Amino acid sequence: MNKSINLAVLGLGTVGTGVVNLLKDNTEELARRSGHIINITHVGTRRHRTDIDPAINQSDDLLAIAAADDVDIVIEVIGGTDVAKEVIMHAIRHKKHVVTANKALLAKYGNEIFALADENGVQVRYEAAVAGGIPIIKAIREALAANKIDWLAGIINGTGNFIMTEMQTKNRKFGEVLAEAQALGYAEADPTFDVEGIDAAHKLSLLASIAFGIPIQFDKVYCEGITKVSLQDVVYANELGYNIKHLGLAIRREHGFELRVHPTLIPNTTLLANVHGVKNAVMVDAHPLGQSLYYGDGAGAGATASAVMADVMDLIYVITAATPSDVPHLAFVPEELSDTRILPSDEMTCGYYLRLTVKDELGVLADATRILSDNGINIDAILQRDAHKSGLVPVIILTLPVLEKQMNAAIKQIQQLSCVTEPVVRIRLESLDE
């Protein structure tokens, strides 16, 4: 064995503890793969932990640890965007390589952090920040580097997918399933990040950047969560051959890129529609490869620690190689990042599922479909159910892809029909065709 590689693990929550345990469990295997002995020399923690090897220094002085001489790689798994940013910037200025699982931090400050890392000749690795244990960053940044990526679609929040799956298959209540996801260590510290789509939007902004060669632009991601998806829409979608999944979509269009996160009807025959529970999956449509799918555990201690340690292994090769390799942080060389516009939601294009609740009267359907056709919207399927006891009838309409501004105009007019008694429900629809 050659030289020892020294790690600092900042944060001992689910992920930090997972990293410490992984290193303990797989010490020999990691040493055989890297050719080096990997030690944790420091852990950053507020509470002293008696289950940690006494040879490891425990301290809450994160800045001192990040700059310590006996640290080669700083692993930031504190979470949050304030302290984590300060500590990472400090580590970079002290020429330490960094591994982080912090998608919120990179979505907000990634451009600045990567620029500082480039200036200081160190690398910031972030495989664990997107889709947990699935090596999606490595796949897009390196394995697909010869391709032009047209779009990607991902189930990139395990908590959200777990909740949707339990609701769909077991009819369980939202709050109960969320509590279980929290107990299992899947959910964010603030679970609204999961259920309102913010966590998925953080991750999507990173994926879009490395897929298209654009700066990280979290603030331009259209974001809708799962809290308003009702069981009846899940059932109707199913009758029409679709599953509703919470997707992150990054799409190349002629005039810019669409970045959006929202519940989406997808054909139940597609692989993504069959990704259940806490599992994540990302489908990438690229030229010349075509479609490829990356699937696995997107959250939890083991999956996330696996991705963190894979980054550590890569950095060991960087530190110890005679000729270190250097993959650009955002997959494209910084001076080649493009300023192609991110399209506003009005200019996005997709199919729609509409649910109208109407009075059971003559001509209602004719009025609604006329409005759709007047707005240039092509109907793909209609489903009308029996009237409720109340005399109200649910009408489900699926449309072909249309510009969002056309759909907004049509929904506004439909809503004004006197026979439409409740707000029109709309859920976006994607066929995921090649």
**Minimal distance in Å, beta carbon 222 to ligand HSE?**
19
Closer to ligand HSE at the Cβ: 109 or 193? 193
Contacts of 110 (CB under 8 A, 6+ apart): 206, 209, 216, 329, 330
According to CB under 6 A, which one of 149, 187, 372, 377 is a site residue for ligand HSE?
Answer: 187
User: Which one-letter amino acid corresponds to residue 146?
Assistant: A
Residue 311 makes contact with ligand HSE by CB under 6 A: no
Q: Candidates 186-194, 205-213, 216-224, 371-379 — which segment interacts with ligand HSE by CB under 6 A?
A: 186-194
Contacts with ligand HSE by CB under 6 A: the residue count is: 11
**What does the block give as tokens for 159?**
């908590």
CA distances from 77 to 101, 186, 304 (A): 6, 14, 10
CA distances from 232 to 45, 82, 201, 340, 397 (A): 46, 41, 26, 39, 14
**Minimal distance in Å, beta carbon 158 to ligand HSE?**
4
Distance CA 90, CA 254 (A): 41
Strand partners, 38: 5
User: Which one-letter amino acid corresponds to residue 417?
Assistant: L
**Minimal distance in Å, beta carbon 101 to ligand HSE?**
7
**Minimal distance in Å, beta carbon 420 to ligand HSE?**
37
According to CB under 6 A, which one of 139, 299, 397, 427 is a site residue for ligand HSE?
Answer: 299
Is 405 considered catalytic here? no
Closer to ligand HSE at the Cβ: 38 or 195? 195
**Minimal distance in Å, beta carbon 294 to ligand HSE?**
15
Binding mask 151-170 for ligand HSE (x = CB under 6 A): ------xxx-----------
DSSP-assigned letters across all residues of 47-87: S--TTS-TTSEEES-HHHHHH-TT-SEEEE---SSSHHHHH
Residue 100 makes contact with ligand HSE by CB under 6 A: no
According to CB under 6 A, which one of 298, 356, 375, 429 is a site residue for ligand HSE?
Answer: 298
According to CB under 6 A, which one of 72, 76, 166, 188 is a site residue for ligand HSE?
Answer: 188
**What does the block give as tokens for 387?**
């009237």
Closer to ligand HSE at the Cβ: 191 or 213? 191
Residue 195 makes contact with ligand HSE by CB under 6 A: no
Q: What is the footprint of ligand HSE within residues 198-217 (CB under 6 A)?
A: 199
Catalytic residue (one of 108, 138, 203, 245): 203
Q: Candidates 32-40, 117-125, 187-195, 374-382 — which segment interacts with ligand HSE by CB under 6 A?
A: 187-195
Q: What is the footprint of ligand HSE within residues 123-152 (CB under 6 A)?
A: 132
Distance CA 129, CA 132 (A): 6
**Minimal distance in Å, beta carbon 160 to ligand HSE?**
7
Contacts of 333 (CB under 8 A, 6+ apart): none
- C-alpha dihedral over 360, 365, 367, 370, to 10 degrees? 180
**What does the block give as tokens for 399?**
């449309």
Conformational region of residue 28, where left means phi above 0, alpha means psi within -120 to 50, and beta covers everything else: alpha
SS3 115: helix
Residues identified as active-site = 203
Contacts with ligand HSE, residue ranges (CB under 6 A): 132, 157-159, 186-188, 194, 199, 298-299
